[in-house]
C-alpha cells in the first residue's frame, strides 16, 4: 500500500505507539526507552506512559519492580529508563568536561566507599564526607554530594540500584570494556538511532535530526559520529514524502497498512508520551499547539500546570488537568473545538478512561 496523506501517518502513529497492553517487561522492551519526570500530577510521567501499555499497571509499579526488570536509569535522548542491552550501547561514556585532580580524588574516595557498602543512599555519603553545598545551574543551593553522585552516575561509575521514597540509591559499577573499533562505534550509533525511530515513528526529517543530535547526551564521546549516523539512517530507513515533508519509520513496517486504531476509546496521555512528544508533529497531525506548562508562570499558562492531551480515536481534541482531592479524582477538561457532548460514545469512553485513571491511582 502507498503512503499518501497525513491521515495515514497520524493513524499509524497512534496504532504503532499505543500497542495492546502487555507485561511490564515486554512493554519496556517494545518502547525501548521511557522518559522520566519527577512531577506527580496526578502521577509521574513514566507511570502515565506505561499505564496504557501494561496490563493492570498501577502508579509506582516501575519504581517498585525496578530491580527485577533488567532496566537502568540513565540519560538517552532524555533522562529515563532503558533496557540493559540498549544501555550498554552508550558506554563507556566519556563526559565532555574533564574533572580536576581534586574532584577526581573526591570521586575515587566516594567510589571506594560505595564499593565497601554495596548500596548507598546519598544521605549516607553526605554524612561520611560532608562535601557541603554548591550553587546549582539555576542559582540555588544544592547538596554537593548529590551533585557528585549524579556526575559519577552519568560517567558510568555508579548505577541506580533502586529508589528509596523517590531518592536514588546507588551501587558501584564494574569498569566498562573499551570500545576503540570504528566499525563497532558506527554499529552502536546506528542501533541507538533505531531505538529512537522505533519509539517516535513516524518522524519528520527535522525531528529525526533533532533526536540524533540529542545522542550527545547518551554518548558524548562519539559526537563526531552523529552526522554519519543521521545520513546513514536517512539512506537505510523506509521513508516517504508527504506534503513536502520527508517521514521515516522502522524497517519492516508499512504505515499505510496500519489503518485500524488500537481501540475506539479516549486516552489521557502523559505530556512526554511518544504519541505527543514531538510538538512539531503534534501541530501537523492535530492542527493546534500543545505546550508543557509546568514551569511556566501560572498567569501565562494556556492549558494548565500539567495538561494531559486528550486523544479520542486518532484525534487529540483537547486536554485535561487531573488531580486527587480528599481521595477523589477531579478532572478539569478543555477542548480545542466545542466539546462533543452530544456524542454518547465519547461520553461513555471518557468516563471509562477516568475510571481507568482511578484504578491506576488506587482510588
Q: Locate all alpha helices (DSSP H) within the chain, ordered by sequence.
A: 6-17, 24-31, 45-50, 61-65, 84-88, 101-117, 122-129, 144-154, 182-200, 205-213, 215-218, 226-236, 279-286, 344-360
Contact present, 4 and 30 (Cβ < 8 Å): no
Report residue 131's pLDDT band, with 50, 70 and 90 as the boundaries. Answer: low
pLDDT given at position 305: 96
pLDDT tens readout for residues 34-89: 999 999 999 999 999 999 999 999 999 999 999 999 999 999 999 999 999 999 99
SS3 label, residue 224 = helix
pLDDT given at position 74: 98
Report residue 263's pLDDT band, with 50, 70 and 90 as the boundaries. Answer: low
Query: Phi and psi for 23 in degrees, rounded to 5?
Result: -75, 165
Buried b / exposed e over 150-173, threshold 16 CB at 10 Å, is ebbbbbbbbbbbebeeeebebebb
Contact present, 18 and 27 (Cβ < 8 Å): no
Mean pLDDT of 180-188: 94
To the nearest whole percent, how much of the chain has pLDDT over 90? 84
Domain ranges of the chain: 101-172, 257-360
Mean pLDDT of 309-334: 95
Chain-centre distance for alpha carbon 173: 23
pLDDT given at position 137: 43
Residues pairing with 310 in the sheet: 268, 318
CATH of 101-172, one of 3.40.50.300, 1.10.10.10, 3.40.50.1820, 1.25.40.10: 1.10.10.10
Instruction: Average the pLDDT over each of 62-76, 119-133, 188-202, 213-227 and give the range with the smallest value.
Output: 119-133
Per the model's pLDDT, the better-predicted residue between 87 and 136 turns out to be: 87
Q: Is the pTM of this model over 0.85?
A: yes
State yes or no: pLDDT of 262 exceeds 60: no
State yes or no: pLDDT of 234 exceeds 70: yes
Q: Which of 298, 299, 45, 275 is closest to 290 using CA atoms?
A: 275
State yes or no: pLDDT of 339 exceeds 80: no
State yes or no: pLDDT of 4 exceeds 90: no
To the nearest whole percent, how much of the chain has pLDDT over 70? 94
Q: What cell does 144 get? A: 554537593
Report residue 129's pLDDT band, with 50, 70 and 90 as the boundaries. Answer: confident
Q: What is the biggest distance separating any 2 CA atoms in the chain, rounded to whole angstroms?
A: 69
Mean pLDDT of 272-296: 97
Amino acid at each position: 500500500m502507498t503512503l499518501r496523506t497525513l491521515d495515514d501517518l497520524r493513524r499509524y502513529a497512534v496504532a504503532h505507539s499505543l500497542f495492546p497492553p502487555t507485561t511490564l517487561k515486554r512493554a519496556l522492551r517494545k518502547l525501548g526507552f521511557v522518559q522520566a519526570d519527577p512531577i506527580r500530577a496526578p502521577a509521574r510521567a513514566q507511570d502515565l506512559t506505561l499505564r496504557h501499555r501494561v496490563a493492570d499497571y498501577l502508579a509506582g509499579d516501575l519504581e517498585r519492580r525496578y530491580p527485577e526488570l533488567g532496566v537502568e536509569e540513565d540519560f538517552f535522548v532524555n533522562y529515563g529508563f532503558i533496557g540493559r542491552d540498549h544501555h550498554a550501547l552508550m558506554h563507556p561514556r566519556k563526559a565532555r568536561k574533564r574533572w580536576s585532580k581534586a574532584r577526581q580524588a573526591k570521586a575515587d574516595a566516594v567510589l571506594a566507599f560505595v564499593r565497601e557498602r554495596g548500596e548507598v543512599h546519598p544521605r549516607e555519603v553526605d554524612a561520611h564526607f560532608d562535601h557541603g553545598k554548591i550553587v546549582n545551574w539555576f542559582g540555588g543551593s544544592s547538596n554537593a554530594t548529590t551533585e557528585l553522585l549524579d556526575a559519577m552516575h552519568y560517567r558510568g561509575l555508579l548505577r541506580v540500584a533502586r529508589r528509596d521514597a523517590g531518592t536514588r540509591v546507588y551501587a558501584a559499577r564494574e569498569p566498562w570494556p573499551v570500545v576503540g573499533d570504528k566499525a563497532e562505534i558506527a554499529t552502536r550509533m546506528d542501533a541507538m538511532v533505531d531505538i529512537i525511530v522505533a519509539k517516535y515513528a513516524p518522524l519528520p526529517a527535522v525531528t529525526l535530526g533533532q533526536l540524533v543530535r540529542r545522542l550527545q547526551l547518551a554518548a558524548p564521546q562519539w559526537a563526531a559520529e552523529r552526522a554519519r549516523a543521521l545520513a546513514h539512517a536517512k539512506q537505510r530507513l523506509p521513508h516517504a514524502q508527504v506534503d513536502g515533508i520527508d517521514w521515516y519509520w522502522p524497517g519492516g513496517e508499512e504505515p499505510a497498512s496500519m489503518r485500524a486504531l488500537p481501540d475506539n476509546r479516549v486516552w489521557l496521555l502523559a505530556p512526554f508520551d511518544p504519541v505527543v512528544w514531538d510538538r512539531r508533529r503534534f501541530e501537523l497531525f492535530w492542527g493546534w499547539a500543545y505546550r508543557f506548562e509546568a514551569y511556566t508562570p501560572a498567569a501565562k499558562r494556556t492549558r494548565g500546570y500539567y495538561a494531559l492531551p486528550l486523544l479520542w480515536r486518532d484525534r487529540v481534541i483537547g486536554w485535561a488537568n487531573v488531580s486527587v482531592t480528599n481521595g477523589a479524582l477531579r478532572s478539569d477538561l478543555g477542548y480545542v473545538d466545542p466539546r462533543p457532548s452530544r456524542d454518547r460514545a465519547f461520553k461513555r469512553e471518557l468516563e471509562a478512561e477516568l475510571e481507568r485513571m482511578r484504578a491506576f491511582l488506587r482510588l
